[in-house]
């Protein structure tokens, strides 16, 4: 049976995240919510993240600013801000948020040496982070209607899809129920079990071989 990991980036947002959580709860589904600092600084954002945790979802550090990819600024200061400072904010806001996961900023879902820097890799080791990549980016923030068909094609072509969606107020998530209905028709298992090729680091240790990791890292 094919598998699907649902991941939602760049939230939480009052306008959309609650609706997504409601839909997942109704269907008894679990997902990963990759949160960013600007959304977690508000009380409402923190309440939504706590709700997601309470309902069994994975919470993922998706950087403090989501502004510059780690590999595009390989300085220690940048890695510290995006990884450590966001980690501290999550600790303060959420307390025990479970296993430590990080998702890098991909500049529109691209995979390449902009994802990591040597300094950020060191931060993953120190903080014992696992890292969550992806293999399907249907660009829902641009194609708010057509992302459904794009995502379904990816799911049918892969054994285990890690799908990147965004719980942002673009209108795209109004199509989430339709998408989940179509996934159900395909007899696809929605799971939090991740494919190995989407987890380059596990508990701070590099899982990819050196050559593969070098293709994702600057410096």
pLDDT for the residue 70: 97
DSSP H helical ranges for the chain? 17-27, 37-40, 43-54, 76-79, 86-94, 118-127, 147-157, 176-185, 210-214
Nearest to 29 by CA among 160, 191, 175, 177: 191
Q: Do residues 98 and 53 touch, judged by C-beta distance below 8 A? A: yes
Q: What integer is the mean pLDDT of 187-192?
A: 95
Q: Is 32 helix (H, G, I), strand (E, B) or coil?
A: strand
* pTM attached to this predicted model: 0.97
Distance of alpha carbon 212 from alpha carbon 189, whole angstroms? 29
Domains of the chain, earliest start first: 3-218 (3.20.20.370)
Residue 188 reports pLDDT greater than 90: yes
pLDDT for the residue 29: 98
Chain mean pLDDT for the chain: 97
Q: How does residue 60 score in pLDDT terms, banded at 50, 70 and 90?
A: very high
Q: What integer is the mean pLDDT of 99-128?
A: 96
Q: How does residue 187 score in pLDDT terms, banded at 50, 70 and 90?
A: confident
With tokens 């595009």, the residue in question is: 72
159 CA to centre of own chain: 19
């Amino acid at each position: 049976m094919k598998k699907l990991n649902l991941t939602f980036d760049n939230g939480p947002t009052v306008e959309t995240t609650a609706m997504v959580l409601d839909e997942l709860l109704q269907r008894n589904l679990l997902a990963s919510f990759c949160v960013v600092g600007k959304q977690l600084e508000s009380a409402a954002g923190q309440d939504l993240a706590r709700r997601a945790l309470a309902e069994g979802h994975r919470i993922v550090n998706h950087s403090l600013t989501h502004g510059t990819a780690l590999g595009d600024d390989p300085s220690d200061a940048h890695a510290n801000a995006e990884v450590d400072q966001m980690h501290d904010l999550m600790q303060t806001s959420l307390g025990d948020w479970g296993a430590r996961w990080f998702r890098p900023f991909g500049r529109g879902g691209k995979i390449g040496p902009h994802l990591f820097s040597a300094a950020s890799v060191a931060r993953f080791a120190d903080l014992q982070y696992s890292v969550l990549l992806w293999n399907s980016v249907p660009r829902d923030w641009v194609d708010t209607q057509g992302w459904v068909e794009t995502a379904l094609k990816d799911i049918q072509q892969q054994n285990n899809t890690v799908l990147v969606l965004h719980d942002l107020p673009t209108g795209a998530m109004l199509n989430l129920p339709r998408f989940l209905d179509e996934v159900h028709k395909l007899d696809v298992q929605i799971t939090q079990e991740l494919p190995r090729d989407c987890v380059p680091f596990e508990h701070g240790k590099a899982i990819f071989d050196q050559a593969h990791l070098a293709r994702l890292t600057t410096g």
